[in-house]
Amino acid sequence: MSAVGLRTSWALGWNEARRLVLHPVYLLGAFVIVPTVGARAATGADLPSARQVFVVVTGVQLIWYGLMSLLAAGLVASLARRSRAQDVLEALPTGAAARTAAHCVAVLLGPALISVLLTIGVWLLERAQDEPFGIYTAAELAQVPAVVLGGGLLGVAAARWLRWRGGLLVAFVGAVMGTGWILAQGRFGWLAPWTTARSMLDDPDFAGGSAGWHAVYLALLCAFAAVFACLPDVRRRGRLVAIGAVIVAGAAVAGWAQLP
């Protein structure tokens, strides 16, 4: 991509990030998260209040913000197609590849950045306690924004590849069910694109993996989702396919290294 293209993608990314974080689909998520958080708060009533805040903030990000970011990013990325504005856009100097890159930037600058800030906030909250909770390590906390970023990038990829009505919903259901299925595969549950909280390690089949390698694994999956999203529209696919192959190889190594 040229320097002008990069500047345009960056400027558009900021523009789209603002729309993304204000997307009304996040309100929809409240219907899921309010009962979930309520249940968590009820069962953890005897926990210190700071720890409840910690659990709720990380839980909300994973269960609600990550999943809703998939939908929000998919809807923002497919807006031109759904509103039939493509004829206008196709006659402009910025092509579909740069627009998709901008949507990936928007996920990074919007939901993922918010998730990073929230995660740093809860980490500081834990550090401020006389007796840290010890629920998550730093490597495990780093996985939280990675899941949010991955959710958004998967939404962008779904918008570019599944260009039919209901395609995004299929991606959403597939991501949820697929993640759930992988998590249930004993030690191979580490391959799920999800966090590995220490509380999960109570399961003997799951214990013993590397949270640090899992964070690297998630970051590489995010990179692959971005490459995959951009693939349909780039002029020179060969270079991007090669980059994608390197990322997949790296993810395979990290995925193997993390296993118990």
Closer Cβ to another protein, 43 or 83, answer by number: 83
Q: Is 199 in the site for another protein (CB under 8 A)?
A: no
The rounded distance, in Å, linking the Cα atoms of 66 and 63 is 6
Closer Cβ to another protein, 93 or 134, answer by number: 93
The binding track of 14-33 with respect to another protein, each residue x by CB under 8 A or -, is -x------------------
125 close to 54: Cβ distance less than 8 angstroms: yes
The two tokens of residue 136 are 């998550």
Residue 254 burial class via C-beta count within 10 angstroms: exposed 0-12, middle 13-18, buried 19 and up: buried
Candidates 30, 86, 180, 186; binder of another protein (CB under 8 A) is: 86
Candidates 10, 63, 200, 260; binder of another protein (CB under 8 A) is: 10
Task: Give the range of 83-91, 155-163, 165-173, 241-249 binding another protein by CB under 8 A.
Answer: 83-91
102 close to 92: Cβ distance less than 8 angstroms: no
> Could you identify the residue written with the tokens 């996985």?
143
Size of the site for another protein (CB under 8 A): 23
* Minimum separation from the CB atom of position 83 to another protein (A): 5
Q: Is 12 in the site for another protein (CB under 8 A)?
A: yes
5 close to 36: Cβ distance less than 8 angstroms: no
* Minimum separation from the CB atom of position 9 to another protein (A): 10
What is the b/e burial string over 19-58, where b = at least 16 CB atoms within 10 angstroms of the residue's CB?
ebbebebbeebeeebeeebeebeeeeeeeeeebbebbbbb
Chain residues that interact with another protein, rule: CB under 8 A: 4, 7-8, 10-12, 15, 79-80, 83-94, 99, 235
